[in-house]
Amino acid sequence: MCEACPKAPTGWIGWVELPANQPCIAAGEWIDLTHRVGPDMPCASIFPKPSFIKLRSLPDDPFNVTEIHMVAHAGTHVDAPLHYFADGPDMASIPLERLSGRGVVWHIDCKEDQVITPADLEYCRPLLEPGDILAVDTGWARHFGTERYERHPSFDAAAAEWLLARRIKLLACDFATPDLVYHLREPGFDWPVHRILLANGILVCEHLTGHAALAGERVEFQFGALPLVDGDGSQARVMARRIA
């Protein structure tokens, strides 16, 4: 290895200790919280846009076959700790219980470029319980496909520490990243929200949609992410339903 080459960042602490998943009693039907997967799915401007190519097509061929090219962080997806830590688990190493279970949906009214702080979280209900999944609805999913979608809210480092102290297991948001929006970042920006959460095994889901209908309720979540070997992220079919 080149002595002058920078070392890959480490810092994986481990999976935050959580109670065991408890059985849920359904009180509603499953709701799909996933952006449709196609060429126009949400994708950060720093990455190439997804492409879908027909390798075989009916009726000229006996079947349809589609070749898909996209980064693992396009559309509704889950980030693995490996996304920011070279010694963190990949998608294939994430235990299933970290991708499903009880949680809450909170609505927080936000303006363009707003930074969510602990003060914004303190009064949200229902209260978080250890092991919960938290999905935050800011209403930003409705701006997808417009320029305003790029001026989404974000969380500050103190909010990430607040969530860590409450031992959630996954944070899902309805915009591109829980870290500061791209155009407000200064030189040396270090993605503190991702680093605080992922270092402790708190997963991150981005580009969630449709959960506004569940705001203020306790729900059961399923995050159907792929077990990609060496995967730093994966598209996911996300579902939620009300529970008793």
Tell me the CATH number at 193: 3.50.30.50
Has residue 66 been placed in a domain? no
Has residue 159 been placed in a domain? yes
The set of residues, in sequence order, having a beta carbon less than 8 Å from that of 84 and lying 6+ positions away, is 9, 11, 191, 194, 195, 198, 199
What pTM was estimated for this model as a whole? 0.95
What is the spatial distance between Cα 130 and Cα 30, in angstroms, rounded to a whole number? Answer: 23
Domain count, the chain: 1
What is the spatial distance between Cα 106 and Cα 136, in angstroms, rounded to a whole number? Answer: 5
Alpha carbon of residue 231 to chain centroid: 14
Has residue 6 been placed in a domain? no
Express each pLDDT in 60-115 by its tens digit.
999 999 999 999 999 999 999 999 999 999 999 999 999 999 999 999 999 999 99
Has residue 65 been placed in a domain? no
Neighbours of 81 (CB within 10 A): 30
Is the per-residue pLDDT at 5 higher than 60? no
Has residue 5 been placed in a domain? no
Has residue 164 been placed in a domain? yes
Express each pLDDT in 141-192 by its tens digit.
999 999 999 999 999 999 999 999 999 999 999 999 999 999 999 999 999 9
Has residue 138 been placed in a domain? yes
Neighbours of 78 (CB within 10 A): 27
The set of residues, in sequence order, having a beta carbon less than 8 Å from that of 224 and lying 6+ positions away, is 99, 236, 237, 238, 239
The set of residues, in sequence order, having a beta carbon less than 8 Å from that of 130 and lying 6+ positions away, is 18, 19, 166, 167
Determine the average pLDDT of the residues in 39-68: 96
**Residue 36 structural domain:** 31-42+71-242
Q: Give percent of the chain above pLDDT 70.
A: 97
Is the per-residue pLDDT at 2 higher than 60? no
Express each pLDDT in 80-93 by its tens digit.
999 999 999 999 99
Has residue 64 been placed in a domain? no
